[in-house]
Amino acid sequence: MIRFFGHFEGDQQTYRGKGEVEHIRAQRDCIKLFTDKVVEAGVIKKAELDAIDKEALKLIDDAVAGAKAAPMPAASELLTDVYVAY
């Protein structure tokens, strides 16, 4: 498993070499590698994968817009389903 991001928000990743993350993104990104393999093998066309990506991004955008438009929860519901009691 390769990480593109640091261990925490704001991690400057000073422990990485210069250009290391860019190299990893360009050469070892698992989604890019998968896409290249299935397109090359003729399993699916690049345009079909692009359409799937576009549809997924629209679903995400719609969900975010719906969440932002939803009313704020009542104060009595703020801790609902936060902690689990078995």
pLDDT tens readout for residues 31-43: 999 999 999 999 9
Could you state, in order of their start, the residue ranges of all structural domains in the chain? 20-70
Across the chain, mean pLDDT equals: 91
The segments of the chain whose pLDDT lies below 50 read: none
Q: Quote the pTM value.
A: 0.65
What backbone torsions phi and psi does residue 79 show, to the nearest 5 degrees? -105, 10
Determine how many CB atoms are found less than 10 A away from the CB of residue 43: 10
| Spatial contact of 24 and 2, defined as CB atoms under 8 Å apart | yes
